Structure 1
Amino acid sequence: MTLAYACILIAALLPYLWTAIAKALGERYDNRDPRAWQARQQNPRSQRAYAAHLNAFEAFAPFAAGVLMAQSAGVGEARVAALAVAFVALRVLHGLCYLAGWHRTRSLVWLGGLSCVLALMLSATLAFAGARA
């Protein structure tokens, strides 16, 4: 499960990538009150990068749980790795769509990422149910 664990690490770091971009695109950054600083930003790309940052945090916990559930339930390593890689790729694309302002595409990509998480969790549930039968 090394690849799936690497994907958890990458997904954990994605929010920090998007916030670094938000800070770089905004006016001179003020670390004394970063939330108020972000609220004052007028650059739409900075605002969208910050939104991607928040969304990446929201998506991380269910993804990590899905990978760990699938692994502990004995789901095949190749399936878990494929879904984990797909999730990370979709989440990177999601952030890029946020930055570009492609809201419809972003929503479709978000749905793809959610589908990966649901597939991980459903695979774990079915594997666990099959093992108990």
Structure 2
Amino acid sequence: MQMARFTIAYWCVLLAAVLPYVCATLAKSGGFGKPRSQGGYDNNDPRGWLARQTDWHARANAAQANSFEALPFFIGAVIIAHQLGAPQTALDILAVLFVTLRIIYIAMYVAGLPAMRSAVWTAALVANVAILFLGYR
């Protein structure tokens, strides 16, 4: 009986699942350490507080939402590729590529570079579709 192992692609799923929380921390970082009366983070109304943020804090919050949106497709694609017996090395490479592109995407989003951000988003989507079809025969 062969035991299943935790592949690099599965580790990438974990990394991708953490990325929205990194974005949330970035978005909220401007309010840490300040009292609410001076615009500090409001844990009583976190979504309202985040909605009032501007500049890169607001973009980090938008990157958080987009990271959550991209997550189900990535998780599904990795699981399907594993179930279909996709070549493990190719799957691992594409999963690392996807996560790397998502990190670059977040950086471009926070930096306010929309054209570059969209190009990187498209590349990550293509990598994800490639993962999905990797095991197709």
**TM-score (norm: length of structure 1):** 0.90
Percent of aligned pairs with the same residue? 41
Aligned counterpart, 1:31: 43
Q: In the TM superposition, what whole-angstrom CA distance separates every residue of 1:53-99 from its partner, at most 9, and x where no partner exists?
A: 00000001100110110011000000110000000000000000001
Shift of 1:25: 2.8
- Contact in 1 for aligned 2:98/2:124 (Cα 8 Å): yes
Choose which of 51, 55, 58 in structure 2 pairs with 1:47: 58
Partner of 2:3: none
CA distance in 1, matches of 2:29, 2:52: 14
**Per-residue deviation, residues 91-133 of structure 1 (Å, max 9, x unmatched):** 0000000010000000000001101110011223x2xxx3xxx
What are the residue-to-residue correspondences of 1:6-85 with 2, within 5 Å?
6-26=11-31, 27-41=39-53, 43-85=54-96
Q: Which residue of 2 aligns with 1:3?
A: 8
Unaligned runs of 5+ in 1: none
Q: Which runs of 5+ in 2 are unaligned?
A: 1-5, 32-38
Q: Any runs of at least 4 consecutive aligned residues in structure 1 with deviations exceeding 2 A, and if so which? A: none
Cα distance in structure 1, aligned partners of 2:51 and 2:103: 24
AA of the residue aligned to 1:18? C
Write 1 or 2 for the structure with the bigger share of helix.
1
- Measure, in 2, the Cα distance between the counterparts of 1:97 and 1:120: 23
| Cα distance between partner residues in 2 of 1:117 and 1:30 | 36
AA matched with 2:19: L
Q: Distance in 2 between matches of 1:123 and 1:4?
A: 13
Give the number of equivalent residue pairs. Answer: 125
TM-score by length of 2: 0.88
The alignment yields a C-alpha RMSD, in angstroms, of 1.1
